[in-house]
Amino acid sequence: MPVSPTVTRFAPSPTGLLHCGHAFSALTAFRIAQKEGGRFLLRIEDIDSTRCQRRFEEALKEDLAWLGITWESPVRRQSDHLAEYKEVAEKLRARGLLYPCFCTRRDIQREIEAAGGAPHGSEGPLYPGTCRRLSSRDVEERMARGDEYALRLNLEEALRVTGSGLEWFDRHQGLQKARPELLGDTVLVRKDIGCSYHLCVVWDDALQGVNLISRGEDLFEATHLHCLLQAVLGLPCPEYVHHELLRDSSGRRLAKRDQAETLRSLRERGVSAEELHVILGRSTQ
């Protein structure tokens, strides 16, 4: 039986210039595709119009080309497909798998304080379920009043559909039992942008035939949720590899917000792509 070739990807959000952490991540995925005779895709994850800019998309393509990375055309840009994500979300909603949530961050904080705390997930305390308990009459009233709302996953309902036996495979850590309860009733349609990272990434990876998702270990926990979403949407579950994150000399993870040195500035001060490959190479071989 023919084994399908590896299809992997690098999916940056163009919110700033790339730094060495991004180069490491992109090279890790690219080298896997090369080594396995597979395909490598670049996807622009720019649904957050409040933070993404076209000039950073151009800059990141320039940086990746400088690194010697090549990718297939056309490049999928998520902001060109917002209607498609909306349709996916509508279908989930019609199946009772999403519910409207009117809470602000402050409302959630207050509710958690009143309850004396809430379990923590990777993205902070879990949502206490306030709006899941609203009556349909309350929901209608608030909508008629024009209150803004997000759509959250009804985790209990989703688990009823999928059962609790979901699993996914990580190349470094082996077979994992999916534990979407670590993230709770996650927002899948944000109030401000009408979609979310989790929904779009799961949809796009399946649509583009990605069968190996290579990304940083900071997204390990999100994979539990992605596995559940694949199951409710009837999509295949790819393999994963969550790579280590590059850290600075004090052990802090490199981040745009901390002004980690950008690839552009390394280039401008005369560092060659070959030198950078050597610096990063040990872990991406």
Give residues in contact with ligand GLU (CB under 6 A).
11-13, 45, 201, 215, 219
State how far the Cα of 273 lies from the Cα of 63, in Å rounded to an integer. 10
Secondary structure (3-state) at 211: coil
| Intra-chain end-to-end CA distance of the chain, in Å | 29
Q: How far is the CB of 215 from ligand GLU (least distance, A)?
A: 4
Q: Which is nearer to ligand GLU, 152 or 242 (CB)?
A: 242
Q: How far is CA 284 from CA 230, 245, 267, 270, 277, in A?
A: 28, 12, 20, 23, 9
State how far the Cα of 192 lies from the Cα of 140, in Å rounded to an integer. 20
Q: Which is nearer to ligand GLU, 19 or 152 (CB)?
A: 19
State how far the Cα of 17 lies from the Cα of 278, in Å rounded to an integer. 21
Q: Which is nearer to ligand GLU, 101 or 199 (CB)?
A: 199
State how far the Cα of 254 lies from the Cα of 25, in Å rounded to an integer. 12
Q: Which is nearer to ligand GLU, 13 or 154 (CB)?
A: 13
Orientation angle between helical segments 82-94 and 220-233, nearest 10 degrees? 70
CB neighbours of residue 146 within 10 Å: 6
Q: Which is nearer to ligand GLU, 81 or 215 (CB)?
A: 215
Q: How far is the CB of 117 from ligand GLU (least distance, A)?
A: 29
